[in-house]
Chain A
């Protein structure tokens, strides 16, 4: 449900900077279902990749073989991302807080972490330069924290107009997709608010698995259940995928 709901947030007109794992699964599902002309860009420099299966890594050979063009990594980050030519970035997270800030660096203090995570990669500038950002993350109390231990990639910072005051003119996180629900930033405070709930999920469950007193929008929609063709396309992608590709 999470991958299907995330895929639906993408359109045929998007130029999308794809993170590996769940974001890649969602982006490719969108491409093989309702958005056949979406342009997928991986940070290895492949622009317009059309893999037949889900790649294990951002640099799998099929991404390059199916791409419109492959550019160097400095060019990708300078001309394409910093240059403002990407409409949407799609990121995963280890922690996300109530203002959509993302942590993929450390759990605990930086100098003596409880857990050392992979770090930033392309995410800080994806979060600041893409016109908007989508986040996909399984809904747990460990992931949904009031304040991230480390801001790897800025969301709406401390809320309100804080993002604009940092000099960022892109929209930042506009949607967080979880296995339970959809959250969007409140137009004023920028706090993430539940705006959609997946079929069969109760509000108490969402509240129990969120590390802050989560608010629900005045109107909360029920996510339409996955359709047969969406599930078939997703199963097909996973079946063709490399060993150990994460099961979405």
Chain B
């Protein structure tokens, strides 16, 4: 019997990578903790018209506001949904408060719970155990937050199910030609979500001969943890890629007015996402 082969990433264009790996009804996690948010990939999901997605994300911000407002999302699993430092996500609120453009199911956690659930997913465990949620109303509204007793100390601990998405999508600074990926700066939960997911799509700023790790806390995802890599310079804008470009704080502030009104939002999405060409892709093939 053949031994199962190690996974090898394919270098694809962004539209091909999304078409190959994101299907209607999938559970999708696009992560990036403020830094390296995969905006270009998310916009491609919107352009391809995916529906009934379950989206995971610790901090659904502008990208998920856009996906929700465009009707791609059935269910959201999250721990904090806002425009950090600016205010509300109006499309998210409209979906929750008024069911527009469709009702949104919520599964709500705390950051500690969700971070632990990703780590459990990466570790192949069925659930995460942690000290959390004590005295809060979150377990009352989320039946997937439960409690168990430590077999050694008798302490009551919280348990949340591991997150195992169908597909993880992250953005990173660079890949080498074999498809190993380097991320540095604020690394968030990106390593965990790639390892937790059944499939992983990574967009990168560039492909290089040598990853030249930038610092001792840089995260390298080995090539065999990834299914598809698309070269998308600027793929995290208006978020940022440490060492490449800055966070566009002015756009985050401007989004508040754009998203407040349904028509203004739809007009902006038509002009800047639906009718926009996918970001220029270099056609980089690598050797993988």
Contacts and interface: CB of A to CB of B under 8 A. Distances in A.
B2 interface: no
Contacts, number: 187
A157 B135 contact: yes
Contacts of A121: 59, 79-80, 110-111
Contact of A118 (B82, B115, B119): B82
A208 interface: no
A244 B111 CA distance: 25
Interface stretch (A147-155, A177-185, A195-203, A231-239): A147-155
B247 interface: yes
Q: Name the residue among B58, B82, B115, B116 with the largest chain A CB count within 10 angstroms.
A: B115
B97 interface: yes
A60 B116 CA distance: 23
Nearest to B36: A59
A244 B85 contact: yes
A210 interface: no
Contacts of A246: 85
Given A56-B252, A57-B252, A78 B138 contact: no
A interface: dominant SS: loop
A168 B34 contact: no
A125 B117 CA distance: 15
Contact of A124 (B58, B86, B110): B110
B136 interface: yes
B34 A74 contact: no
Contacts of A116: 88, 92-93, 96-97
Interface of A: 20-21, 43-46, 55-61, 63-64, 69-74, 76-78, 81-82, 105, 110, 113-125, 128-129, 150-154, 157, 163, 166-168, 242-246
Given A120-B111, A128-B134, 4 more contacts: A20-B84, A74-B119, A124-B134, A152-B136
8 contacts: A20-B84, A56-B84, A64-B35, A64-B186, A72-B187, A128-B131, A128-B132, A245-B85
